[in-house]
């Protein structure tokens, strides 16, 4: 990925980002215009981050279109990555002031709680349980759980076919809980979805389950052998994680910054340049939750 750094020319200019569509890797190529005149409220989380001169963002690195890092590349790509850049730019931080921290589903809350990251942008569904222990602003995207199976397998076409089947998903995800509790699957839990995809390709499991947005990226990488089947059977509302559930000021900043990107179409351009590369049309941006 190429970063082009440009600065706002106008004092008081709102956050503006422009994204140049890129060719085919589901990663996007982004020009960020940073909100250089951003003045954080005294004592706020934004002030702490601005004073540190960098933001640590927890992201996935093995989910094509969402958060993916090519071997040998030093920056990840994907829709979550673009949302991370939008938030950083809103605080006046350049892309090279972002530290991308690889996360897996299971360490998102601990990484927020122990300060390993400032925010999480990692296919992170908003749930009541998670909102008890960390903050989640959003949703900035809504998807739903689906199934990935071998292209020549006609025995599974929806979650009702999973009873007794070996289904791979990721520890600490909403996905593994749903298939185990609601559909009687025999769950195989791994750290990452890419490990699950390997299990499926090797014939060790019958299906992989997680959000459709994630599965489409894997199917697109190996269309001769993999297919996504059935309708979505859950609602996954992606949010930006932050440390303290009661940090309303930070929640409001994140929400307003993402909302601005939705209003000026940056959000849609980011979608088209990342997840949209697999042929999915950009949906209408979702309505975001109030912060209090
Ligand atoms: N969105 C779901 C979750 O947050 C599944 C994807 C993931 O594990 O990142 O648990």
32 and 71 assigned to the same domain = yes
Same domain, 123 and 158: no
Same domain, 219 and 246: no
Structural domain boundaries, residue 133 = 2-143+237-278
Instruction: Quote the pLDDT of residue 28.
Output: 56
Instruction: Please tell me whether residues 152 and 11 are part of one structural domain.
Output: no
Same domain as 159, residue 88: no
CA 102 to the chain's CA centroid: 12
Q: Which residues have any ligand 1 atom within 6 Å of their CB?
A: 105, 122-125, 170, 173-175, 210-211, 236
The reply to whether 149 and 83 lie within a common domain is no
Gap between the Cα atoms of 274 and 284, Å rounded: 16
Residue 73 lies in a domain: yes
- CA nearest ligand 1 atom 10, residue: 173
Q: How confident is the model at residue 232, as a pLDDT?
A: 96
Is residue 95 situated within a structural domain? Answer: yes
Specify whether 63 is located in the same domain as 125.
Answer: yes
Q: Which residue among 121, 126, 214 has the greatest number of ligand 1 atoms within 8 angstroms of its CB, and so is best to mutate?
A: 214
Task: Work out how many domains the chain is built from and give that number.
Answer: 2
Atom of ligand 1 lying closest to residue 63 CA:
9
Judged against a pLDDT cut of 90, whether residue 199 lies above it is answered with: yes
Whether 67 and 78 share a structural domain: yes
Q: Is residue 42 part of a domain?
A: yes
Which of 218, 203, 220, 255 lies closest to 90, judged by CA? 255
Per-residue pLDDT at 155 exceeds 90: yes
What CATH number is attached to the domain comprising 130? 3.40.190.10
The pTM of the full predicted model, rounded to 2 decimals, is 0.90
DSSP 205: S
Q: In this structure, are 241 and 101 located in the same domain?
A: yes
Q: Closest ligand 1 atom to the C-alpha of 60?
A: 9
The answer on 258 and 134 residing in a single domain is: yes
pLDDT category of residue 34 using cuts at 50, 70 and 90: confident
Give residue 122 CA to ligand 1 midpoint distance, Å: 8
Q: 38 alpha carbon to ligand 1 midpoint, in Å?
A: 32
Prior bond to 139 cis, omega within 30? Answer: yes
Helix (H), strand (E) at residue 144: none
Q: Are 39 and 94 in contact (CB under 8 A)?
A: no
If you measure from the C-alpha of residue 211 to the centroid of ligand 1, how many angstroms do you get, rounded to a whole number?
7
Six token digits for residue 168: 């791979």
CB 214 within 8 A of CB 236: no
- CB within 8 A of 82, min separation 6: which ones? 19, 28, 30, 270, 273, 274
Average pLDDT of the chain is 89
Asked whether residue 129 falls in the same domain as residue 149, the answer is: no
Interatomic CA distance for residues 170 and 105, integer angstroms: 7
Residues 108 and 206 in one domain: no
């Amino acid at each position: 990925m190429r970063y082009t750094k440009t600065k706002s020319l106008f004092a008081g200019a709102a956050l503006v980002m422009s994204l140049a569509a890129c060719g085919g890797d589901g990663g996007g190529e982004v020009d960020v215009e940073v909100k250089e005149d951003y003045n954080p409220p005294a004592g706020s989380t934004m002030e702490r981050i601005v004073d540190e001169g960098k933001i640590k963002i927890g992201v996935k690195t093995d989910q094509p279109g969402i958060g993916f890092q090519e071997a040998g590349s030093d920056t990840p790509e994907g829709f979550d990555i673009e949302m991370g850049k939008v938030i950083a730019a809103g605080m006046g931080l350049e892309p090279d002031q972002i530290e991308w921290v690889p996360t897996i589903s299971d360490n998102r809350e601990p990484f927020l709680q122990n300060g390993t990251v400032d925010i999480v942008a990692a296919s992170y569904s908003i749930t009541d349980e998670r909102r008890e222990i960390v903050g989640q602003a959003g949703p900035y995207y809504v998807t739903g759980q689906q199934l990935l199976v071998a292209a020549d397998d006609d025995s599974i076409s929806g979650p009702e076919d999973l009873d007794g089947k070996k289904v791979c998903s990721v520890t600490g995800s909403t996905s593994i809980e749903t298939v185990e509790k609601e559909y009687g699957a025999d769950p195989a839990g791994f750290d990452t979805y890419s490990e699950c995809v390997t299990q499926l390709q090797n014939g060790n499991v019958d299906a992989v389950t997680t959000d459709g947005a994630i599965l489409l990226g894997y199917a697109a990488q190996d269309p001769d052998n993999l297919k996504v089947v059935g309708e979505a059977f859950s609602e996954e509302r992606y949010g930006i994680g932050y440390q303290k559930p009661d940090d309303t000021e930070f929640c409001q900043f994140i929400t307003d910054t993402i909302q601005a990107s939705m209003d000026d179409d940056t959000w849609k351009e980011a979608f088209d340049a990342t997840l949209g590369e697999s042929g999915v049309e950009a949906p209408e941006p979702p309505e975001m939750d109030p912060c209090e």
